[in-house]
Chains A and B, each alone.
Chain A
Amino acid sequence: MDCDAFAMHLAEHLDGRLPAEQAELFAHHTSLCGECDEELQLLAKALGLPKP
């Protein structure tokens, strides 16, 4: 998964609607890309969700 695919799946991930296989790829990408991880943390905070 690259940063564009991350952006495409970000909302689904936070709503818990990402299929397991995609969720694994998503988590792998955020562990490698600091900027996407920052985006994920900020979005969760904006939505009042617990820290991912």
Chain B
Amino acid sequence: MHATELTAASLTDPAQREQAVAELRLFLRAGLGRSFGRQLDDALLDDVAQDAVVRVLARLDDFAGRSRLSTWAMSIAVREALQHLRRQRTEHLSLEDAMRAGHQLLTCPQAPDDLQQAALRRHLQAGIAEALSPVQRDALLAELGGLPLMEIARRQGRSRGALYKSLHDARRKLRRYLEAAGIDADALGVGRVSA
């Protein structure tokens, strides 16, 4: 059976299940190998593919049939691998340390800046302190300090979507604050956000 023929029925039918699950595992492992290359060694590739199979089977009832099952299953596997790698990369960095690093980046730039840049940075610091809620401020500083959104969300016990929205709103507030002070938000890298 080719992976594109994979169906929810084959994964649940007792007569086909064992073979379908084995083929799903091989399909996911091959795809992960293609996209992540040497970032996942053979043992890790086996583990992540196996974890992804378990997750796919557990979520089979959520599959709404709006895409191929194989595409949906691979999206779960890729997310599983990304979560693993991002967690591994940042396991030694606590949320508090990331926030401190983010704050330090704002107060002590790595490269010397001129008077104008220093003034812009001070406006940015003031905007973060005055315009943002504590939750928005913590998330923004942790992101600046190098933690991926996926990891911040996991450590704060909320969904990535909720965190994304919180950061989106934070940037919008910050942009308004800076523009009210006559500052060009683009010059500070405060991304343009939609209304």
Interface on A for B, CB 8 Å cutoff? Answer: 2-7, 10-12, 14-15, 17, 28, 32-33, 35, 38-39, 42-43, 45-48
* Given A3-B149, A43-B74: A15 touches B193 (CB 8 Å cut-off): no
In the complex, what distance in Å separates the CA atom of A17 from the CA atom of B71?
12
Assess whether B82 is in contact with A46, with CB atoms less than 8 Å apart.
no
The smallest C-beta distance from A49 to any residue of chain B, in angstroms, reads 9
* Given A3-B160, A35-B148: A15 touches B78 (CB 8 Å cut-off): no
The smallest C-beta distance from A37 to any residue of chain B, in angstroms, reads 12
Assess whether B35 is in contact with A11, with CB atoms less than 8 Å apart.
no
Q: A17 contacts which chain B residues (CB < 8 A)?
A: 66-67
18 A-B pairs whose Cβ atoms sit less than 8 Å apart in the complex: A2-B160, A2-B162, A3-B163, A3-B164, A4-B162, A7-B75, A11-B72, A12-B66, A14-B75, A32-B193, A35-B160, A42-B36, A43-B74, A43-B75, A46-B35, A46-B78, A47-B74, A48-B31
In the complex, what distance in Å separates the CA atom of A43 from the CA atom of B78?
6
In the complex, what distance in Å separates the CA atom of A39 from the CA atom of B74?
11
Contact-residue bracket for chain B: 20 to 34
Total cross-chain contacts (CB, 8 A): 79
Assess whether A15 is in contact with B68, with CB atoms less than 8 Å apart.
yes
Residue from the set B31, B71, B74, B150 with the largest chain A CB neighbour count within 10 Å: B71
Is chain A's binding surface mostly helix, strand, loop or mixed?
A: helix
Residue from the set B149, B164, B194 with the largest chain A CB neighbour count within 10 Å: B164
Assess whether B79 is in contact with A7, with CB atoms less than 8 Å apart.
yes
B134 at the interface (CB under 8 A from A): no
Q: A10 contacts which chain B residues (CB < 8 A)?
A: 75
Digitize B124-168: 1 where CB-to-A-CB distance is under 8 Å, 0 elsewhere.
Answer: 000000000000000000000000111000000001111111001
